[in-house]
Chains A and B, each alone.
Chain A
Amino acid sequence: MATPTGITLKELSKKEGLLTSGHRMCAGCGAPIIVKMVLLAAEGPIIAANATGCLEVSTCISDYTAWKIPWIHNAFENAAATLSGVETMYRSLKKQGKISKDIKFIAFGGDGGTYDIGLQSLSGAMERGHDMLYVCYDNGAYMNTGIQRSSATPFGADTTTCPAGSVIPGKTQNRKNLTKIMAAHNIPYAAQASPSHWMDLVKKVKKALSITGPKFMNILSPCNRGWRSRTDDAIMLSRLGVETCYWPLYEIEDGATKVTFKPKEKKPLVDFLKPQGRFKHLFAPENEWMLKKFQEIVDKEWESLLKSDSGRCDSKPSGKAPGAE
Chain B
Amino acid sequence: MSKKLFMRGNEVIAEAAINAGCRFYAGYPITPQNEIPEYMSWRMSDVGGVFIQAESELAAINMVYGASAAGARAMTSSSSPGISLKQETISYLAGAELPAVIVNMQRGGPGLGNISGSQADYFQAVKGGGHGDYKMLVYAPYNLQELWDLTMLAFDKADEYRNPVMILGDGILGQMMEPFYQTPYTKPNLSEKTWALTGCKGRGPNVIKSLYMGEGELEFRNSILQEKYKKMRDKEVRFEAIGVEDAELIVVAFGIAARIALSAVKRLRKEGFKIGFFRPVTLYPFPEKELAALANADRRFITIELNAGQMVEDVRLAVNGKSEVLFYGRTGGAIMTPEEIYEELSASPRFQAGAAVLKS
Contact = CB atoms under 8 A, between A and B. Distances in A.
Contacts of B41: 160-163
A160 B55 contact: no
A149 B53 CA distance: 8
Nearest to A163: B42
A167 B31 contact: no
A163 B51 CA distance: 12
A168 B42 CA distance: 9
B81 interface: yes
A116 B38 contact: no
B37 interface: yes
A145 B42 contact: no
B55 A119 contact: yes
Size range of the interface on A? 20 to 34
B55 A148 contact: no
B56 interface: yes
Contact of A77 (B31, B34, B56): B56
Contacts, number: 48
Contacts of B42: 163, 165, 167
Contacts of A112: 29
Interface in A127-184: 142, 145-146, 148-149, 151, 160-163, 165, 167-168
B34 A151 contact: no
Contacts of A52: 112
A151 B31 contact: no
Contact of A146 (B29, B51, B112): B29
A151 B34 CA distance: 17
Given A76-B81, A112-B29, A145 B55 contact: no
Interface string A107-122: 0000010001101000
B55 A116 contact: yes
B45 A145 contact: no
Contact of B29 (A142, A165, A167): A142
Contact of A145 (B31, B56, B57, B112): B31
Given A77-B56, A116-B55, A148 B34 contact: yes
A24 to B, nearest CB: 14
Q: Lowest 6 CB-CB distances: which A-B pairs, in order?
A: A145-B29, A117-B56, A116-B55, A161-B41, A148-B29, A142-B29
Interface of B: 28-31, 34, 37-38, 41-42, 45, 51, 53, 55-57, 81, 112
